[in-house]
Amino acid sequence: MNNKVFGPCPLCHGLEAKVLFSARTTFSEFHLVQCNMCELTRTSPLPNDEILRVHDIYSYYGRNVHKFNSCVQKIRNLIMRMRAKHYLSLIPDSVQPPKILDVGCAEGRLLKSFLEYGCQCWGIEHTFYPAQRFLDSDRIVYLQGDLNAMHLPEGAFDLIFLWHALEHMENPHLIMSQLHKLLAPKGAIIIAVPNFSSMESRRFKKFWFHLDIPWHKYHFNEKSIRHLMTETHLRIINISSFCSEQGPYGLLQSILNAMGWPKNEFYEALKGNLPQRRSIYIIIQLFIGLFLLIPVFFVSFLVSIKGRGPVIKLILKKGKR
């Protein structure tokens, strides 16, 4: 297949691309198409809101008041507090109060942690997201819709987060250009995306947990993400491929998928999306997970040291135009 089918790469405008493999959902089949120049991989056809709506947005975000069960939520709260404390160290002490923007904020769990440090917080989510879940909406400014249609103050934000959000967006170049404008002169942008060149992606392909078709429109490796940051005049201060919560669990779920269990069934159980009749199968998968727990952590850590971990995490600063 050639550019007449897929069109130019939306990042580098290269005309040559190749189909890596296909992935089928309940309703559609999608191709994973990689640009031969910058190596950005896109989901084809590119999923629009109508396609996503057909794939049950309520199940994707979780059907209950909270996305996950209470035990998982407590773990997430701890991780978010640690994350907020860690990244606040990037902001000079003279900046008071720090202004935080989280694009793809979900219920605002990370922003709630920043509130504890006296920060002013803004969160942006898709219009599909259930607004009744937003935490501390009296103290956090929540916006839903297209970032580029919002009138946010330029140069105002000291920390901007895109934590597993960029891969969901239709135009990554436009998003990063806009965030460059919103970032304070000494601020930082924090990004995390699934690593399409990871050991897991290469090994599991359509069974990879972080592939997440059709919700992920784009799939980045280090080459394509570096190209995007260069194009949008952002300097990479730090890059890594280890993520404590996404890495080990993602590998475990990918293994379960490849074993033949219904795709992401254990993950869906954590969101309360499975019928009671599947309980015995979830218990079996739980025991498999406990048996694999130590090997999964070891492998995840080892491949991350070699730059082949399941995510790419970046800290970005403004560069020269």
Domain borders along the chain are 3-318
Q: From CA 85, how far away is CA 276, in angstroms rounded?
A: 40
- Digit-coded pLDDT (tens) for 78-128: 999 999 999 999 998 888 899 999 999 999 999 999 999 999 999 999 998
Pairing of strands 29-35, 183-194: unpaired
Q: From CA 277, how far away is CA 143, in angstroms rounded?
A: 39
End-to-end CA distance of the chain: 37
Walk along the chain (321 residues) and give the pLDDT tens digit of each residue. Answer: 444 468 899 999 999 999 999 999 888 899 999 999 999 999 999 998 888 887 767 667 766 666 777 777 888 889 999 999 999 999 988 888 999 999 999 999 999 999 999 999 999 999 988 888 899 999 999 999 999 889 899 999 999 999 999 999 999 999 999 999 999 999 999 999 999 999 999 999 999 999 999 999 999 999 999 999 999 999 999 999 988 778 899 999 999 999 999 999 998 888 877 777 889 999 999 999 999 999 999 999 999 988 899 999 999 999 865
Token pair for 24: 């089928």
Cβ atoms of 40 and 220 within 8 Å: the answer is yes
Cβ atoms of 260 and 288 within 8 Å: the answer is no
Topology given in CATH for the domain delimited by 3-318: Rossmann fold (3.40.50)
pTM of the model: 0.92
